[in-house]
């Protein structure tokens, strides 16, 4: 996807649907809603810095603020179009029944918000156990109706991706998975026939369940050494690594300076040796583990990739 030459023109990938997807987007997971407009301001800051890709999900509980930011950015009197911005959302696991798919999509589109974690009497979450092939067929109807321009997958392993491709009328445009130098996902990248988006591309050091003994990716001495030689931050080096692998990345931040820095990754190129060094950092270690769901019949992480 990325050539060493003319780097600034390689800022997006073309999906199988023909849409252009910017290689770097703003992630909004863990950006809690209602904190004096932090999410709304972060999205506005990103758009004003030049971001044109915002990644969100109904389960994050902040889509209404994302929508408010978009409304401000394209408000009357400003020569901007909604079509300039690529927005990704996700169908939550409790909404996989085909009859729930369209309403969940419309809820996201209107930013109404809803209870994302309905629970049974014993406290377990009421996830749908419908087969994801049936969910996919219902999602395809969203494309047919013009409600969305592209549909894709998240947290699908290689076998599950193949299952979808075997029945799809509209091919999955993206598979969004955890990916960073400690979990390089090389096998899955080679397997996927669609674009891969990396969530937690910087290792999610602020994940709530992180223990003190777990390594911090951005403090890895090897990464710090590379960053020093390029006069970049460790985060910028990791994002550049993703881009040169052809992986879309959605770093999350609500800090204006970091939002700006995370977009400044198009003016340098990592050498082949440094790319190999970063590949060698792989531990096949998932930092975003949701083992509470491991008994679900379609839990994806029992397979190696």
d(CA 181, CA 221) in angstroms, rounded, equals: 13
> Is 60 among the residues known to form the active site?
yes
Length of the chain: 305
Q: For residues 42 and 31, is the Cβ–Cβ distance under 8 A?
A: yes
Residue of 51, 60, 182, 298 with catalytic role: 60
Cβ atoms within 10 Å of 256's Cβ, excluding its own: 15
191 is in an annotated binding site: no
What are 40's strand-pairing partners? Answer: none
d(CA 112, CA 100) in angstroms, rounded, equals: 15
Which alpha helices (H) appear in the chain, and where do they start and end? Answer: 38-49, 63-73, 98-110, 132-144, 158-167, 186-191, 221-230, 234-244, 256-263, 272-279
Q: Are strands 153-154 and 86-88 parallel, antiparallel or unpaired?
A: unpaired
Nearest to 147, CA basis, from 81, 87, 80: 87
Tokens of 26: 């703003």
d(CA 188, CA 156) in angstroms, rounded, equals: 10
DSSP three-state, residue 298? coil
How many Cα atoms occupy the beta-carbon half-sphere of 101 within 13 Å? 21
What are 24's strand-pairing partners? Answer: 249
Q: For residues 56 and 89, is the Cβ–Cβ distance under 8 A?
A: yes
Q: Which residues are annotated as a binding site for substrate?
A: 131
Which sequence positions are flagged as catalytic? 60
Q: Binding site residues, as ranges?
A: 131
């Amino acid at each position: 996807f990325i050539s060493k030459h003319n780097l600034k023109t390689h800022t997006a990938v073309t999906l199988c649907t023909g849409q252009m997807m910017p290689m770097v987007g703003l992630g909004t997971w863990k950006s809690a809603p209602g904190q004096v407009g932090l999410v709304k301001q972060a999205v506005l800051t990103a758009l004003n810095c030049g971001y044109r890709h915002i990644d969100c999900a109904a389960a994050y509980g902040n889509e209404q603020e994302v929508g408010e930011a978009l409304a401000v950015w394209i408000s009357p009197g400003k020569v901007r179009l909604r079509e300039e911005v690529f927005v990704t959302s996700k169908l939550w696991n409790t909404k996989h029944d085909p009859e729930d798919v369209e309403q969940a999509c419309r809820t996201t589109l209107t930013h109404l918000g809803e209870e994302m974690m309905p629970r049974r009497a014993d406290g377990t979450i009421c996830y749908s156990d419908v087969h994801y092939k049936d969910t996919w067929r219902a999602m395809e109807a969203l494309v047919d109706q013009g409600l969305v321009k592209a549909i894709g997958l998240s947290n699908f392993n290689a076998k599950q991706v193949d299952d979808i491709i075997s029945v799809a009328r509209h091919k999955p445009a993206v598979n969004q998975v955890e990916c960073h130098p400690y979990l390089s996902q090389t096998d899955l990248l080679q397997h996927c026939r669609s674009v891969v988006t990396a969530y937690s591309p910087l290792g999610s050091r602020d994940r709530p369940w992180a223990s003190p003994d777990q390594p911090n990716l951005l403090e890895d001495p090897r990464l710090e050494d590379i960053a020093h030689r390029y006069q970049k931050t460790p985060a910028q080096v990791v994002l550049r690594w993703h881009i040169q692998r052809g992986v879309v990345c959605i770093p999350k931040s609500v800090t204006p300076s970091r939002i700006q820095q995370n977009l400044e990754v198009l003016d340098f190129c990592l050498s082949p040796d440094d790319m190999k060094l970063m590949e060698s950092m792989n531990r096949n270690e998932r930092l975003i583990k949701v083992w509470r769901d491991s008994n679900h019949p379609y839990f994806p992480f029992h397979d190696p990739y």
